[in-house]
Amino acid sequence: MKKKKKGKKSGRGHSCRVRITPNRTSIKTYDTTPKKYCTKFDILNLEEQKHRFLTYGLVPRFELVGSPERIQGVLSTKRAQIRFQYMKEARRIIDYVHENYGSAEEFMTQSFGERITVDEASSLLSNYIKENTVDGMLTIGWSKDLSCTARMSSNGPHTKLNKPEARKFSLWIKDSVDNTYLRQQGILCLANHEIGTHLFRSMNDGLQPWYSCRDKFGLRGTKSQDLLETEEGLATINTYFNANIPIFFTQALTYYTSCKATEMSFEELYDHLQHYLQHPEHRWRHVMRVKRGLENPNALGGYGKDQCYFAGTVEILRNIDNIDFNLLYSGKICLDEVNRVRRVARTRSLRLPHFMQDIEQYKKRLKYMARINGLLSDTVGIGSAKIKSTRSRRTVSSQSRSTSTSTHRTSVASLETASPALSKSPTESPLLVPSPPSKPPLSTSPMKCKSPMRRLLDRRAQSSTRLPSIGDNTD
């Protein structure tokens, strides 16, 4: 008879503790994250450098998992560049939270609830997994040295082998005081992000014909900037779907921090963010995330990848009525690729999270979130067909003359009552004065089959318009 092992060791020589749960999904606690689950930009000496900086004020010297050559190669790519496209929208959101809630901690408490322990969070996650019928389809690991709040990862055969059923999914969550979502409602919001978005879209992607050959269907790569913005933007929206106050403060602050990194050193940026974040460890995490790739973290510039959360959110919320969200969940596809895969996507076996069972209510909630975050614009829509907003210039000008209202500290419902900026009427201006989208409109051209029969039918119909096929370049 075999003896039971008292404990396991991770890839970096540290033990882990297994939590007993009634579910088939195992939940483990690690001292450090196993190296096979780390990314190139994960920091090996994170806790040590945080202690040095917060205690003695010493500029951190990060040791990353990836080699300096690989890090510099990533920093030169499009997805690493810092953009200023939505700087105004981000600044208005963080200023609104600062003016009306006083501190970020107060806003987080009202939005995501009181802080909870890891055991309490694990219990809530177990119930969430059961409710969404994904029990046994992933493992959960708590780790203290993650450089992010949480991460969904998968291991398995290369996609070219076309064996999606062999993939194994793992959800890693940071067990630390700087984890914003380690709260009563926040952990469920985090589950919407990691499980309800990333896991479900990944699982559905494995059902599709393009899973092992995206290029043959004219789809962008899984590491492209556009797909990253769609993926993380949708995940951010779902994060706040059940939040008490769905204002994108954290993502807006991340976008703003990246912009300011181009003109401030590590120390200057840390001090500057005190205006919005009073908690030292929270400020540390925001600055660390954008400065970690630099050879000298105190130099100007940074790693702009995290801007995709806010940028993707804005793009989706400005195009709600033109998005087929069921089809968007069919796999890892960008916004402008939805209609291109309509005829080939396998939709009968799609998995959807519980909060998307009623699509009309889902879209109604998204419109409300867009309105109170001030992300509506004069023209919305994907492609050349733009839908004019019902807001008139008189309404906008009347809002600009209105006075500020009392502090909002109870709930979204009381926010709407206290401030005309939070009115539910679609004809009124949103909480924050919106600005038009800067990106060019996305294409909505449907896919056309290029078979001989189809071309014959087109000639008979004397069609004068050629629709792009799924292999065409519509960028």
Structure confidence at residue 17 as a pLDDT band (50, 70, 90) = low
Reported as type and span, the H/E element at residue 379 is strand 379-380
Q: What is the mean pLDDT of residues 262-282?
A: 96
Q: What is the mean pLDDT of residues 369-395?
A: 52
Q: What is the mean pLDDT of residues 244-261?
A: 98
Span of 19-28, 153-162, 179-188 with lowest mean pLDDT: 19-28
Note the pLDDT tens digit of each residue in 36-82. Answer: 889 999 999 999 999 999 999 999 999 999 999 999 999 999 889 99
Note the pLDDT tens digit of each residue in 77-133. Answer: 988 999 999 999 999 999 999 999 999 999 999 999 999 999 999 999 999 999 999
Long-range contacts of 395-404, Cβ-Cβ distance < 8 Å, separation of 24 or more: 395/427, 395/428, 395/429, 396/429, 396/433, 399/428, 399/429, 399/433, 400/433, 404/99
Long-range contacts of 153-161, Cβ-Cβ distance < 8 Å, separation of 24 or more: 153/37, 154/202, 155/36, 159/211, 159/212, 160/212, 160/213, 161/212
Given a cut of 60, whether residue 6 has pLDDT beyond it is: no
Q: 453-470 b/e with 16+ CB inside 10 Å = b? A: eeeeeeeeeeeeeeebbb
Q: What is the mean pLDDT of residues 260-270?
A: 97
Note the pLDDT tens digit of each residue in 427-455. Answer: 333 454 344 444 444 444 444 444 555 55
Pair 343, 190: CB distance under 8 Å: no
- Give the pLDDT of residue 21: 59
- Give the pLDDT of residue 214: 95
- Give the pLDDT of residue 178: 86
pTM for this prediction? 0.78
